[in-house]
Amino acid sequence: MTKLIITRNSEWNNRARDYGIYIDDKKIGTIANGETKEFDLDSGIHKINGKIDWCKSPKIEFKIAENDSKKIEISGYKHGKIISRISFGLLIIYFSLKYLFKIELEILIIFIGIGLLFPLYYITFGKNQYLRLIELN
């Protein structure tokens, strides 16, 4: 039987929500944080995408032969893990400097704002690139 193996990275951003997996515009299941799932498919050419709420991934097309398997990785938007951690760290540094050491560094507010606007882009204008699909083989 032809198998589609989907792996979802473990992420802090979308930990509580499952991603919907769609093959040829039909939902075949969901995948939780850090999970790997296998789905049976017919051989041939298929289009796959993922969805979470109103956000989704671009569709990618792949070909799968009879008795073959295809591995695909799904994850959140590019640099999502890094940007949220850096913004949160800068926020802690800013408040520590301001209230513990009485030092004002307004430049940190600019970097924190950029870090908070980055995910805002992906849930509004970039909603069709919120998730990423990577074909592994």
pTM, to two decimals: 0.81
Of 12, 98, 92, 22, the residue nearest 57 (C-alpha): 22
Q: Taking residues 112-130, what's their average pLDDT?
A: 86
Share the mean pLDDT of the chain. Answer: 89
**SS3 call for 18:** coil
**SS3 call for 12:** coil
Q: How far is CA 95 from CA 53, 84, 114, in A?
A: 33, 17, 17
pLDDT, residue 89, reads 84
Q: What is the helix (H) or strand (E) element at residue 50, kind and residue range?
A: strand 44-52
pLDDT at 100 over 90: no
Task: Report the C-alpha gap between 115 and 105 in whole angstroms.
Answer: 16
pLDDT digits (tens, 9 = 90+) for 39-54: 999 999 999 999 999 9
Q: Taking residues 107-129, what's their average pLDDT?
A: 84
pLDDT, residue 41, reads 92
pLDDT at 74 over 80: yes
